[in-house]
Amino acid sequence: MITCYISYQIDPSQVAAFEAYGKTWIALVERYGGQHHGYFLPHEGPNDLATAAFSFESLAAYEVYRDQIKSDPDCVAAFEFAEKTGCIKRYDRHFLRPCLTGDAQAIAAFKA
């Protein structure tokens, strides 16, 4: 599994537009076989930072998704909405390998 973690610099006056954009992409990622972990909007602290994370089975599956969304009318509309509203100033994409389960044996090894 590979997780795409995106950090966004957003326009603080366009948080509502960014939230609408995010809600749209949650469904779109899932349409293409990904598992979305949500968008996280500013609350306390910097008012221009947001994040999102979603996972695919593999980097190859993510690349198929990236290719397919180029011709999906809903995806194109979402990209155009972000551009029209200016809600996203910049973003950085990182690919991470998740660690999602605990290991009691590993804990015991620390105590040895």
Which CATH number covers residue 81? Answer: 3.30.70.100
Q: How many domains are contained in the chain?
A: 1
Q: Is 27 left (phi over 0), alpha (psi -120 to 50) or beta?
A: alpha
- Expressed as residue numbers, the domain containing 33 is 2-111
**Do 56 and 2 form a contact (C-beta atoms < 8 A)?**
yes
Per-residue pLDDT of the chain (112 residues; tens, 9 = 90+): 999 999 999 999 999 999 999 999 999 999 999 999 999 999 998 999 999 999 999 999 999 999 999 999 999 999 999 999 999 999 999 999 988 787 777 777 777 6
pLDDT of residue 102: 79
pTM score:
0.85
In Å, what is the CA distance from 79 to each residue of 12, 103, 108? 19, 41, 49
Least Cα distance to 50 among 96, 9, 3, 95 occurs for 9
